[in-house]
Every structure is written in structure tokens, then in C-alpha cells.
Structure 1
Amino acid sequence: MTPHLPADADGATVKAADRAHVFHSWSAQALIDPLAVAGAEGSYFWDYDGRRYLDFSSQLVNTNIGHQHPKVVAAIQEQAGRLCTLAPGFAVDVRSEAARLIAERTPGDLDKVFFTNGGAEAVENAVRMARLHTGRQKVLSAYRSYHGATAAAINLTGDPRRWPSDTGSAGVVHFWGPFLYRSPFHAATEAEECERALAHLADTIAFEGPASIAAIILETVPGTAGIMVPPAGYLAGVRELCDRYGIVFILDEVMAGFGRTGRWFAAEHWGVTPDLITFAKGVNSGYVPLGGVAISAAIAETFATRPYPGGLTYSGHPLACAAAVATIRTMEEEGVVGHAAHLGRNVIGPALAEIAERHPSVGDVRGLGAFWAVELVRDRETREPLVPYNASGADNAPMAEFAAACKAAGLWPFVNMNRVHVVPPCTVTEAEAKEGLALLDEALTVADRHTASA
């Protein structure tokens, strides 16, 4: 693939305008140097000098069908020519069809869809629904989690991005979810981790007061926090605890949904049906902002004659819904979900296992489908992370050097704390996946220099 550049290709002008006027997320504005991107296609994007990068981040793990898929681009163009926008109160063909296609793929009776602009708003509204449905206020969420950056979503988030905005009074209680590699329960096996994590959650519920808890929210497979695949029986155990106490069970599938784990929704791996599912990102590969909540019959019935006190100007925006319809149909036609499962089982998983054997900096490898994490350590025996928790500046130098080595080789990585996540588009070819894994293998020699054995 030869990168095609704009006729007036001038990356310096683009970057200068960015630095003058754009305020970036999660950044100290004077310390960042954004790459000026000229174009993208499939699994690659490129800068104004024609330097191409294999996108092993899927941007923010949302371009599940890759960049510029022609069927989705055409659907957006066709919809723009026919009807660009209409208020949420109207029945619109693409909005109805997007909801129908999503409902067909959700587990159980989650057949109603409330559309939002993205994942954080989906979480906000799911929590609001749960509180109104139960008449309770508390919500439990895991420490190793990310649920968004809006008011309630950031309080639910378990990672350090919560700290500057944590009001401490938002009715949120955090607990430890299962993670055998860094078990807070001193477990030796997945079965022990599952049993002890469920006992811990049951104790948390008991001491917080079951009658005060509206919902438990979990990422089915936590994403940004480390792609920790839950042990068999854990999600079913949470479902049982919720049923026992009348607590709404919310699964956050914003990152894990729509093929990322090799299933339409990750919950399918464990045969668990929550009361609410939040989604976004992969529903239309991020081409136009869209998210939503899939709602069970019981919760939908709460608002059959009682108005739901929430709404968004752009709920179910026609351009976004047209992109979702085209994305879901394309994924079905092209077997994208099955391809993601194949990649994880036969390409990415085996390759990462071999890479782990070669590199003393690799402490753990875990994942499903096109959704993997490689945990980097200074010492395999002690499992000391390659950089401290929430490291910055000089403390984060080993990870910064590793990320720079990836980019210098033409691989764009998803790096968070002491991990690199292998999250290419679900449409990445075997050849492209192997190319990226070979580049990752080489870049890990930089991380190896910071290990105890170096």
C-alpha cells in the first residue's frame, strides 16, 4: 500500500495549527508533540512525509473494521445526501435498523437500545437507569477499570485518571476484581482467584448494605486497565449475587464488544446475561461518534409509563447510525468476528507465547481474539513492573524508550503503564499481524535492557 498524501501536503502547517489551538486529552499541553496524520487505510495510517505505521492500537481500540472501510464510508456519504440529522424524538429508518441489529446480537432479552454519543455517556445513563429502577444510590465497580471521563463515569473508574476528579461523594464503592497474575487474594490458581474474588465482593456487598446498592458495573474483559480475562465462573457468580440482592448487573462492553474478543459481545464467552450492556467504539468502528445502552425488558418496563429523565440532542444521530448499520452488516458479511477469534487462537496468542519465552522483560501474556496485553517486568520472579504504578517523567523512561522503538520501526503501539496491548483492527490480515508481532518482538529488546538480568 502506497500512502496517498493530500495535494497540499504540509504536516508542519497542520501541527502548528494544532499546537496553537487544540487542547488535548489527558496531556500537559506544552509537553506533547502530536503526529500530524495525512491519511489511513485498513490497518495502517501515515504522516505527511509518507511514513507508514501499522496500527496495533486501533487508535483507541475502536477501529475494529480498520480505517476507511469503503462500505461504511459509502453508507455515511449516502446518508449525508439523504438526511444528515433529525431530533431523537422521531422514528428514523437507520436509527431503528441500528437498534434492531444491535438487539439481535445482545444476549437474553436486552432488546431496547438507548443511543448516546459515546461510552462514557452510555455508562452515565446505565447507572441512572439502575438507580431509578431500584430506588437505590450506591454503585460498585472494580479498581482495575476504566468507564469514562464524565461525572459519574470517572468516579466509577478505578485507575489513576479518577484521582483529580474524584468527589468522594458520588455513591461509588470500589472493590478488587480477579487478576491472578497480581492477585490481591494470594491465590495460586484461577479457581482460587475466582472463589476468593467472589467472597470479597460478597463481603463488600454485606458491609455496604445490600439494600443500598443499585448496581454492580464491570468491564466484561477490562480493557485499558490490563485486558484481564475473568476466570471461569466469576461473571456467573456476580450475576448470582446481583440476583440474590436485587442489584442491577451492568456489563461495560465499550471496548470488548463488537468482535474485539472474537464474539459479538464478550459476555458470550461465559454465557452470562446482564441487565444492561454499555457499548460504543466498535459498534461503528468509531467513524462517527456513537454509543448506547442495551436494556433488559424489566428495566425498560420501569419507564413504560414513567418518563425516563435523560436525553441527548444527538441520540441516535442518523450519520452515526448509518455507520453502525453498515459496520454490523459488513462484519457479518466478511466474517470479521470469526476472523478475530481465529487471530487470537492461531496467530496472536501463539506468537506472544513464543515472544514471552525470548524476552526476560515479558512477565505475562493474556487475551482473547484481537484483544491482548503483554505485561512488562523488571524481574520475572518478583513480578516487579518495568515502571512503577502510574509512573511519569524519568520513572517512565523504560516504557517511553520501548514505545519509541516501536514507532521508529513503523509500529504504532497501545502502551499503558507497564503494558503494551496488542489490539490491531479485527480485520488485520495474518500477514499484517505477523509483521506487527515481529516488530514488537524486536522492540522488546529495548525493554530487556531494563530487566534485572540485563
Structure 2
Amino acid sequence: MNAEAADALAAVKDADRKHVFHSWSAQELIDPLAVAGTEGSYFWDYQGNRFLDFSSALVYTNIGYQHPKVTAAIQEQAAKLCTVAPGFAVDVRSEAARLIAERTPGDLDKIFFTNAGAEAVENAVRMARLHTGRPKVLSAYRSYHGATSTAINLTGDARRFGNDTATAGVVHFWGPFTYRSPFYAATDAEECERALRHLEDTIVFEGPQSIAAIILETVGGAPGVLVHPDGYLAGVRELCDRFGIVFVLDEIMVGFGRTGKWFASEHWDVTPDLICFAKGVTSGYVPLGGVAISAAIAETFARRPYPGGLTYSGHVLACGAAVATINVMEEEGIVEQSARTGAELLGPGLRALADKHPSVGEVRGLGTFWALELVRDPRTREPLVPYNASGADNAPMAAFGAACKKGGLWPLTAGNRIHVAPPCNITPQDVAKGLAILDEALSVADAHMA
């Protein structure tokens, strides 16, 4: 590292330590990597270490870093019209909404823009409650819906614990997860049937007349890339129709090509009443989120004011990024590429690693969104580390993550899992490189087995 790079590194680290308050962290116990640059599927530090990003930042750089067409579009939009209040009609905002609505299923043709995913969830819940006149919302354990007030109460993982006020009108239920079935199911079909029966029982005993919405991640993201068994989402749709409940799908992590479809609900041909989106809609280049709204719910607010809004709703710079991102994905066939990468490269490659490494208990995923469940014992399926592990308890996963980074791969680890979520347009060569690094790192996980 030359003197100029060393000085830049020192300045960045010093300012970060003095002034930046990092999320989900004990501030004095972390040492964030200082990133000097990004391009495509890679980022690098000031010492010249390059990392193949198998996390897509936080699962949002769907078109990779620094795509020239999108960065140019952002610059052009900034020069033309950088910002204007959300109450005005603006060409780029209208075009972003049109492009999104064209890709949503069914009649979800109205778009309410937010700044990010958690705000999308907050507003979807508000819309459902106002539309139905009911207070409660059902959400699954093993879920993540964001860190704002309602969203964190909806969340079904450990990040809720320090924030749960028990006042958000939320009821949690068990969704299907055959590998760790809460219903003692042996097959996906059994798991689906029993999970739907459990959800129906929950609805009945909570009182259908009190339930505004059921919210689900179309594919469970943060909880471990949980792909619902065939028939489950259709079954939830039927329950919602039967009891007059709004069905909300959280596509924040999996929308815009991540699973090999524009929206993951297309895999099961299910149309919800509301879709929450964010992340991939701009590939994270400028923050943007939103809610796609069905005709029936939009009609509720045709002559009744919707009591919600945001200063930066539909920010024109973000909408310019969305228009460019969607057009690039269309022109370059990135959604289709994500599907092929999953079916032909990542899926087979990860399953081959599972056959080789006994620490891999299960492989699951779609498109460019996969997870390896790491275990201490494949027979008992005991996780490699306990639920919500920290400190010494998390040592095996920490060692595995360090081995990935040493090999030049930036992993996304959560609990006892590694989530494999590279950019949707990753090259076959980089997939092969990433799998080879994972192969080496999994030997470290194997060494920590019981």
C-alpha cells in the first residue's frame, strides 16, 4: 500500500470511528472494512484486496456495482431535475411507476413510493387496516420485515427482541420449513398441508373479524432463503379470500430478478393484494421502495384521503435510477440470466459442495438467491451454532466467514447459514471462482462438527 492510500485509509477509519454510528452493532466492538472502490461483482479495500461479493451488499446490487448505464442516467437526471416535492406529477416518477406496474401480477397497477423497504411495510399495513377497518396483522416466525416500529414488530427473528413493544397488533404464526418442521412433517406436501391448517386455526382463534392482513416474505430472505412448498402461497391466498383478509407479499429482497422472475410470486402464479418492494428496484444505487396496490384497495382511497406520506416519496433522482435499472435488466436479459445461473450453475454447484462437505445440512434457493444450512451433525440437524449465537458460541461461523474473506469472497452469513446472493448478472467464471472459495472455507466448517 502506497503512502497516499495509507493516508486515505487512516482518514476514513478515523472519521468512521469518531462520527458514524453503525446499525445492529456494539460500536466499540466493530472494525468496519474501509471500501475504496466497486465494480461489477467486486469491491476492494485501500490495501488492494479484492472481494467477490456473494452478498450483493445487503442483497440489492442486482445489476452489480457501477453499471455505466445507470450511473450515467443518475447523472443526467441530476442535471435535468434533481428534486421536487412528491405532490407534483413528474415524467420520471410516472415512468418508474409505469414500469413497475407493468411487471407486477394481476391488477396491482398503482404505486405508492417510499424511501426503503421498511417504510413500504409500514404503509402496506396502514392501507390494509384502513381498507378492512380491522387492527391485527399476522406474520410468520422466521421472517424479517424491517427495523421501523411496525415492521420490527412484524419481524419473526431475534432482531425483534430488543425492539418489541407488544403494542403493534401483531400475531406470529409458524410458516412451512420442512427441514426444521414445526409440524413434524416428513415431506413438503405434509408440511404445506399442516402449515395451512395451523394458519387457519390461528385465524379462527384470533377472530377473523379482527385481522386486517397476513404478510409473508414470498421467499424468506434473512431467515435463510426459505422457499415455500408448492401450494402454500395459493393456500394462504384462499384463506385471505375466505376471511376477507388482505394478503401482503414482502418482495423487498426477492423482487426485480433475484429469484429469476421479476417478482418471486410468479413462481407460484399467486397475486396478493399488496406487494412491498425496494432494494433491487434501483440496485441500491439510490434508495427507493414502495407498495404496489390492487384496484380494490386503491378504490378505498379514491375519494377518501390516504393518511400517509413522505417528504421524499418518489424522489426523482431515485425514480431515474429505477427507470434506468429496469430498462437495463430488460435490455440485458438479467432476470433470465439470474434464472439460468441458479438452474445451471449455483444450484448444481452448491449441491455438489453439500455432497462433499458433511457440515452442509441443506441447500435451498432460486435464481441468484441460495442458502447453505450448516450443521454440527447432519443426522440430528443440530445447527453449527445455536440460535442467535454471539461471542464464543458463534466461533465456528466466524471462522468460516474469515476463511471466505481470506480466499477473496465476501460472504453473507446469518445464524448457522451462508446466504449465496451474488449480483443477478454475475458471470459464470465468477460463479466458479466463488464456489471454489466456498469449497475451501467449508473445510473449516467441517472441522467444527460434533
The answer on whether the counterparts of 1:217 and 1:251 sit within 8 Å (CA) in structure 2 is yes
Give the aligned residue type for 2:23.
S
Please give the alpha-carbon distance, in whole angstroms, between the structure 2 residues aligned to 1:8 and 1:334.
Answer: 39
1:8, distance to aligned residue in structure 2 (A): 8.5
**Aligned mates of 1:205, 1:434 — CA distance in 2:** 46
Q: Secondary structure of 2:227's partner?
A: coil
Q: Which amino acid aligns with 1:186?
A: Y
Show the counterpart of 1:390.
Answer: 388
Cα displacement (A) at 1:9: 6.2
Q: Distance in 2 between matches of 1:176 and 1:149?
A: 21
**Residue 211 of structure 2: aligned partner:** 213
**Do the aligned partners of 1:6 and 1:38 also contact (CA within 8 Å) in 2?**
no
Output one character per residue of 1:384-417: Cα deviation in whole Å (capped at 9) or x when no partner: 0000000000000000000011011110000000
Equivalent residue letter for 1:437: L
SS at match of 1:10: helix
- State which of 407, 410, 418 in structure 2 corresponds to 1:412: 410
Given the superposition, is the C-alpha separation of residues 221 and 209 from structure 1 closer, same or farther in structure 2, using an over 3 Å criterion?
Answer: same
Which of 311, 315, 318 is 2:316 aligned to? 318
Task: Provide Cα deviations, 1:416-445, integer angstroms capped at 9, x if missing partner.
Answer: 000000000001001101100110111010
The question of whether the paired residues in 2 share the 8 Å contact of 1:87 and 1:313 is answered with yes
Partners of 1:448 and 1:11 in 2: CA distance: 35
Q: Is 1:182 equivalent to 2:180 in the alignment?
A: yes
Match of 2:27 in 1: 29
Residue identity matched to 1:301: E
Take 2:7 and 2:370, find their aligned partners in 1: how far apart are those partners? 35
- The within-5 A match list for 1:142-291 is 142-291=140-289
- Residues 62 and 131 of structure 1, relative CA distance in 2, 3 Å threshold: same
RMSD: 1.3
1:7 Cα shift? 7.6
Structure 1 contact 147–153 (Cα < 8 Å) conserved: yes
Q: 1:121 is matched by which residue type in structure 2? A: E
Partners of 1:392 and 1:104 in 2: CA distance: 44
**Kept after mapping to 2: 8 A contact 1:9/1:48:** no
How many residues align? The count is: 450
Give distance in 2, aligned partners of 1:259 and 1:41. 19
Aligned partners of 1:278 and 1:136: how far apart in 2? 20
SS, match of residue 433 in structure 2: helix
1:56 is aligned to 54
Rounded to whole Å, the distance in 2 between the matches of 1:262 and 1:421 is: 16
Contact kept, 8 Å, 2:6 with 2:46, in 1: the verdict is no
Structure 2 contact 5–46 (Cα < 8 Å) conserved:
no
Letter in 1 for 2:53: D
* Matched residue type, 2:70: V
Question: Which string of whole-angstrom CA distances, capped at 9 and with x for unpartnered residues, describes residues 79-98 of structure 1?
Answer: 00011100000001110000
Counterpart AA for 2:12: V
CA deviations on 1:97-155 (whole Å, 9 max, x unpaired) are 00000000000000000000000000000000000000000000000100000000000
Q: Deviations over 1:351-389 (max 9, x none)?
A: 011000111110000000000000000000000000000
Question: Once the 2 structures are TM-superposed, how far is the Cα of residue 50 of structure 1 from its aligned partner?
Answer: 1.1
Q: Look up the SS of the partner of 1:324 in the other structure.
A: helix
Per the alignment, residue 299 of structure 2 pairs with 301
Kept after mapping to 1: 8 A contact 2:5/2:47: no
Q: Which amino acid aligns with 1:320?
A: A
* 2:419 is equivalent to residue 427 of structure 1: no
Alignment partner of 1:360 out of 358, 361, 381: 358
Distance (whole Å) between structure 2 residues aligned to residue 214 and residue 293 of structure 1: 16
Separation of aligned partners in 1, 2:273 and 2:259: 21
Paired residues of 1:185 and 1:196 also in contact (CA < 8 A) = yes
- Cα contact 1:362–1:374 (8 A) shared by 2: yes
CA shift digits 1:229-281 (9 cap, x unpaired): 00000000000000001000000000010000000000000000000000000
Q: Are the equivalent residues in 2 in contact too, given 1:57–1:424 (CA < 8 A)? A: yes
What's the secondary structure of 2:419's corresponding residue?
strand
Residue deviations 1:208-234 (CA, integer Å, cap 9, x gap): 000000000000000011101000000
Structure-1 separation of matches of 2:126 and 2:4: 45
- Asked whether the equivalents of residues 385 and 418 of structure 1 are also in contact (C-alpha less than 8 Å), the reply is yes
* 1:138 corresponds to 2:136: yes
Partner Cα separation in structure 2 for residue 36 and residue 169 of structure 1: 39
Which residue identity is paired with 1:342?
R
Q: Secondary structure at the match of 2:161?
A: helix
Please name the residue that 2:448 is paired with: 450
The answer to whether the Cα contact below 8 Å between 2:338 and 2:424 also exists between their aligned partners in 1 is: yes
Kept in 1: contact 2:54–2:410 (CA 8 A): yes
For 1:113, the aligned partner's letter is I
- Conserved 8 A contact 1:262-1:340: yes
Task: Give the drift of 1:6.
Answer: 8.6
Residues 6/322 of structure 1: CA separation in 2 closer, same or farther (3 Å cut): farther
Residue 75 of structure 1 aligns to a residue in which SS?
helix
Q: Percent identity?
A: 77
Cα displacement string for residues 7-27 of structure 1 (whole angstroms, at most 9, x for unaligned residues): 896212101110110000000
- Moved segments of 4+, more than 2 Å: 5-9
Q: What does the per-residue CA deviation read over 1:183-205, in whole Å, with 9 as the maximum and x for residues that have no partner?
A: 00000001000000000000000
